[in-house]
Chains A and B, each alone.
Chain A
Amino acid sequence: MGGNTQRLTILAQDPATRIAGKLVLASVEVPHEILADGPVGYRVKVVDFNASSNVLYRPFHYKYDADGNVIDPFALPNKTLSDAARVAFDAKLLADPNFHAQHTYAVVMRILARFEYALGRRVKWGFDGHQLHIAPHAFCEANAFYSEEDRALLFGYFYGKSKEPVFTCLSHDIVAHETTHALLDGLRNRYTDASGPDQAAFHEGFSDVVALLSMFSLKPIVRLALTQGKGKAKIKSERGVNLINGDYLTASAIADSILFGIGEEFGQRLEGVRANALRRSVKLPPSKRYLSDPDKEESHDRGEVFAAAFLRTFLALWVARIEQLGTFGANRYNVDMVVDEGAKVAEQLLTMAIRALDYCPPVDIVFSQYLAALLTVDREVAPDDSRFDYRVIIRKTFASYGIEPPKTHTDASGCWKDFDPQIQITYSKTHFESMLRDEEEVFRFLWENRASLNIDDRGYLQVISVRPSTRQGPDGFILRETICEYIQIAELFGAELKAVLGFERPDGMRTTQRIRAYGGGVLAFDQYGRIKYHIERRLDDVVSQQARLEFLWKNGYLDQPRDARNQFAAIHRARAQCC
């Protein structure tokens, strides 16, 4: 039998990213499983149907070795290939729809595995089902998107400036981005609802962040980013150690290197599909004005601000870790260790980014709340921040983009405040064991304690998830938490806004206008079943509710039903149109 993982070959970025004219391939670990034809596995079902030409491409039938491991049909041969042979190998790979299917399957599974690793549990897709459909060549259209309605990621292909088809499924970035939409939708189902400008932007920005960080966790890409830039850093080899001058290792030098090293090639042929997330993130300089700029209210523009804050944080943390490395003579560093540190930071930050979702309110997310969640996650894992100053750097970098932790409910370090032990909570009427998994039991607990928890019992109250979260604590022991999400829904008329939510209705809104307002929260229980954090998005939070409603009203989103198929397709198209 094989182990827990098996390896498959993917493109580390996309067909345009090459070293010396050769594709940058990576052999990545994915969860071990016996694949059905498609490939179809326990979480993914690839159906290579092309709706434009109305044909299904025959899938590959995978074989397994004696140890039960999949035989990767697209692995680079062990022997050294001549340049001509390698060119032929690359061309064959790109012309084979079965490789496209494998690449897409493997990237999706890799992202899923990252989420499950970070959260210490199985993670659902954002629909009622276990297997996510993937159509690598869905139709001839310059778009790729997650469709909740179809339980699918649909990847288009298109003809850009060259006459050759461009396949969106072959972009690691695009596949990771769309997969993240599907996973985020599973973790926070209400984040696809109409809300203030941050929420849709968060879906986009967070998906970019996962895509970028998962790419930087691949060492070939980090090395490429570091060494292929304009005015390439010269690597000198001395006694078997590859050395790089420290002048190339400042945040701005690395940013330049990324930009010129892979930023230009990154998504180069995909400009028709989307903005170049990497280039735009690196090039967007810090400014505290973005979030109040009406130009940045569009979800794709605003999401780029969030992604830029994250990318700059990545660079700053990387530099902080490089500074702790030993030097080899005058300001010279071992480039392999520098690359290792970069990949390590990307891995760490990605884990934190995903884990932070557990500490985000279930409705109407705003960037500032996410930041508090991110800082809290880091504090949980590393209470002592003194070595690399992660939290200080994260906070400072986000602040430079105008993203600060909320003024209330957070402590001086920007983390969520611990639940006040003075608040009287009744635990005795519920059962600890049931509270770990049973939504009914948690609801009973909530209802029993609604007064202490300041939960408004008018409107509709519902527990929407109870999930375990396990990870290694700072003392090396396994830390177990239970994360429960509840939401409150209030159906209101325009005339009731002042009385119920505490603010006047917007100009032009009629008294009979129907409005749905949301509240809710996350209760994080510790391993003893006691409340550790209560992260709220209160129904009576006047400032937030007013900002949300005015944004929805101004933009005509208040009455719009959600389009479970085209929601992301429309955002991505708008993003492409503006780049």
Chain B
Amino acid sequence: MASSTASPTTATIFAYQVGFGDCLLVRFEYANSTSRHILIDFGTTGLPEDVASAQMTVIAKDIEEKCGGKLDAVVATHRHADHISGFATKTNGQGSGDIIRALAPKVVIQPWTETPDLAIDAEAPATGHRKRLSAYAVGRVRMNDMAKLVVRQLDAKGSGFSKSLAGSIRFIGEDNIANESAVKNLATMSKKNVYTYHGGPSGLDAILPGVKTRVLGPPTLKQSDTIRKQRSRDADEFWQLQLTNLRADAEATGQNGDLFPAHPTRSGGKLPRDARWLADRMKDARGDQMLQIVRALDKQMNNTSLILLFEAGKKKLLFPGDAQIENWQYALSKDDIAELLASVDVYKVGHHGSLNATPKSLWAAFKKRGNQSKTGRLKTVLSTMPGKHGTEAAKTEVPRRTLLSALQSESELHSTHTLDRTKLYEEIRIDLR
């Protein structure tokens, strides 16, 4: 056992090859040869073509081996499938989530937005906001319903969208459908669950001696309000509207005269020639609107990500999940936090390298950025797979080319997308002294 005052001397990050997803095992080693293991996320929404389909099980077994059958903590930054799908269990007990569960983590840490029964009896992180919390919880359910509905609609014949558009919508839609098995496993695999927020308890103080863990995000609703005077409409209202209309849209498909039953119509297959040009475009435009809505949904979920900053020895390690600017804003508005972030040594690149998840002000503030000759150069860890998310034409591809180029030239980049196919993970050792 490490003494309660000793600091770890080394940190090792194992960034597993999960394709488009995150799975990071962090090992803190102490001078007395003991170590602590924290698993930060375990999910994928698309494995590389050249890895076996049993990859997630293989990874779970490797994690089991690396931590000696005992995991100290599990962190699930947010509920997107590419961050938690690996926690799903199987009825035969052989799922990757079953293996992790058997490692009996002492604590599972998640954002406050995952508090079970948030609407009813949660210890609200921001008191006096029960009504809004309740609205948030309802909104969360509706967002999930929406994602399911979108995917179901794509499954139905005659959605009318182009293949590429349907593919983009499906990818985001599926990522946003809560994996109920994984959610349940996370809620029950440990005796202790911590649901936290900016400035809240990390749940790791006792588990990681000598390591200070700060929770920088997500902000609570109340905290968000302090930086944005004009509050956004409650999530439940907005998503209720979207959900209702998505349902109506799904039901309208193929139905004649739904809006004006008494009015004569012509079906889309028999349009007069003067209507065809626009009609084709309108079908695409409708798909585009759906894509925009699922993107908004995706972003809102990304912004529930936990942002953790580990201060161990002389080093700072930053793990922001998929947090985007709206989540970061509250932390970045605090001078002391902005100062801390400037001296970060290791940065887990947010949201698989999308442009919006690494705020320019954050990247610009990293003082340890620099070329290869820079002493104590910033290390960056990227878990990603190109070709799954966004398009180059729209400059929304993930990882974003310009960010990737900056990561390559201004930091020591470790990315899973360049891993040799024979390797299961990228290993990054950090001397904390």
Contacts of B296 in A (CB 8 A): 573, 577
Extra A-B contacts (17), CB below 8 Å, given A50-B252, A57-B263, A165-B259: A49-B279, A52-B252, A55-B267, A56-B267, A56-B268, A96-B260, A140-B252, A142-B245, A152-B281, A158-B241, A160-B241, A295-B228, A508-B361, A508-B364, A561-B394, A569-B292, A577-B238
Chain A hits for B283, CB < 8 A: 51
CB contact under 8 A between A54 and B253, given known A142-B242, A295-B230, A566-B292:
yes
Q: Which of B189-197, B270-278, B301-309, B381-389 contacts A (4 or more CB under 8 A)?
A: B270-278
A58 and B272 alpha carbons, distance in the complex (Å) = 11
- CA gap between A342 and B278 in the complex, in Å: 40
Q: Which residue of A lies closest to B241 (CB)?
A: A272
| Assembled-state Cα–Cα distance A560/B400 (Å) | 12
| Contact string against A for B residues 279-320, beta-carbon threshold 8 Å, 1 for contact and 0 otherwise | 101110110110011001000000000000000000000000
User: In the complex, are the beta carbons of A49 and B278 less than 8 A apart?
Assistant: yes
Asked if B402 is at the interface of the complex by the 8 Å CB criterion, the answer is yes
Cβ of B263 and Cβ of A96 under 8 Å apart?
Answer: yes
Of residues 357 through 372 on chain B, the ones whose CB sits less than 8 Å from some CB of chain A are: 360-361, 363-365
Q: Which residues of chain B are within 8 angstroms of A507 by Cβ–Cβ distance?
A: 361, 364-365
Contacts of A143 in B (CB 8 A): 289
Interface-side segment among A131-139, A216-224, A387-395, A418-426? A131-139
Q: List 10 interface pairs A-B (beta carbons < 8 Å), by A numbering.
A: A54-B253, A54-B268, A57-B264, A95-B260, A135-B282, A141-B249, A152-B282, A154-B282, A508-B364, A554-B361
Which of A58, A301, A554, A577 sits near B265, CB closer than 8 Å? A58
Establish whether residues B260 and A52, one from each chain, have CB atoms under 8 Å apart when the complex forms.
Answer: no
Q: Which residue of A lies closest to B275 (CB)?
A: A47
Query: With A54-B160, A135-B282, A152-B281 as given contacts, are A141 and B245 in contact (CB-CB < 8 Å)?
Result: yes
Q: Which residues of chain A come closer than 8 Å to B355, judged between CB atoms?
A: 556, 559
Q: Are B279 and A577 in contact (CB under 8 A)?
A: no
Is B241 touching A55 in the complex (CB atoms < 8 A)?
no
Q: Does A53 contact B (CB under 8 A)?
A: yes
**Least distance between A516 CB and chain B CB atoms (Å):** 14
> Is B268 in contact with A55, judged by CB distance below 8 angstroms?
yes
Which residues of the partner chain A approach B241 to less than 8 Å between Cβ atoms? 142, 158, 160, 272
Residues of B within 8 A of A (CB): 158, 160, 228-230, 232-233, 238, 241-242, 244-245, 248-249, 252-260, 262-269, 271-272, 274-275, 278-279, 281-283, 285-286, 288-289, 292-293, 296, 355-356, 360-361, 363-365, 393-395, 402, 406, 409
Question: Are A138 and B285 touching (Cβ within 8 A)?
Answer: yes
CB distance from B41 to the nearest CB of A (A): 25
A138–B271 touching, CB < 8 Å: no
Q: Is the CB of B278 within 8 A of A135?
A: yes
Contact with B along A101-136 (1 / 0, CB 8 A): 000000000000000000000000000000001010
State the Cβ distance, A181 to closest chain B Cβ, in Å.
15
Q: Which residue of A lies closest to B229 (CB)?
A: A295
- Is there an interface contact between A51 and B286, defined as CB atoms closer than 8 Å? yes
- Is the C-beta of A493 less than 8 angstroms from some C-beta in chain B? no
Interchain nearest-CB distance for B277 vs A (Å) = 9
Question: B274 to chain A: which residues have CB within 8 Å?
Answer: 40, 45, 47
A142 to B262, CA, bound (A): 24
A318 within 8 A of B: no
With A55-B256, A97-B259, A569-B292 as known contacts, state yes or no: A141 contacts B286, CB within 8 Å: yes
Q: Would you list the 10 A-B pairs with minimal beta carbon distance, nearest first?
A: A508-B364, A54-B268, A140-B249, A507-B364, A55-B265, A53-B252, A51-B282, A52-B252, A51-B286, A58-B264
Which residues of A490-540 are within 8 A (CB) of B? Answer: 506-508, 510
| Complex CA–CA separation, A272 to B246 (angstroms) | 14
A350, chain B: closest CB distance, angstroms: 29
Number of interface residues, chain A, beta carbon within 8 A: 61
- Known interface pairs A53-B256, A54-B160; A561-B279 also in contact (CB < 8 Å): no
* Chain A residues, Cβ within 8 Å of B256: 53, 55
Please indicate the chain A residues that have their CB under 8 angstroms from the CB of B257 in the complex. 53, 55
Q: Is A432 in the interface zone, CB < 8 Å from B?
A: no
Report the separation of the CA atoms of residues A160 and B360 in the bound assembly, to the nearest whole angstrom.
Answer: 38
A135 to B269, CA, bound (A): 18
A54 with B286: CB separation less than 8 A? no
Selected from B245, B249, B255, B360, the residue in CB contact (under 8 A) with A508 is B360
Asked if B285 and A556 make an inter-chain contact with CB atoms under 8 angstroms apart, the answer reads no
Which A residues are in CB contact (< 8 Å) with B245?
140-142, 158-159
Identity of the chain B residue whose Cβ is nearest the Cβ of A143 in the assembled complex: B289
The one of B158, B242, B288 in contact with A566, judged by C-beta atoms closer than 8 angstroms, is B288
A193 at interface, CB cutoff 8 A: no
Is A157 part of the contact surface with B, judged by Cβ < 8 Å? Answer: yes
> Is there an interface contact between A55 and B266, defined as CB atoms closer than 8 Å?
yes
Q: Taking CB as reference atom, which chain A residue is nearest B230?
A: A295
**Cβ-based interface call for A81 (8 A):** no
Q: Find chain A residues with CB under 8 A from B160 CB.
A: 51, 54
Is B263 a contact of A97 with CB atoms below 8 Å?
Answer: yes
Residues in B with CB closer than 8 Å to A18 are: none
User: A361 CA to B3 CA in the complex, in Å?
Assistant: 69
Q: In whole angstroms, what is the CA distance A510 to B403 when docked?
A: 11
The residues of B that contact A53 with a CB separation of less than 8 Å are: 252-259
Question: Which chain A residues border B258 with CB–CB below 8 Å?
Answer: 53
Most B-side CB within 10 Å, residue of A51, A506, A508: A51
A370 CB to closest chain B CB, in angstroms? 24
Does any Cβ of B come within 8 Å of A565's Cβ? yes
Task: Report the Cα distance A137→B364, complex, angstroms.
Answer: 47
The reply to whether A559 and B402 form a contact with Cβ atoms under 8 Å apart is: yes
Nearest residue (CB) in B for A98 is B263
Residues of B contacting A51 with CB < 8 Å?
Answer: 160, 279, 282-283, 285-286
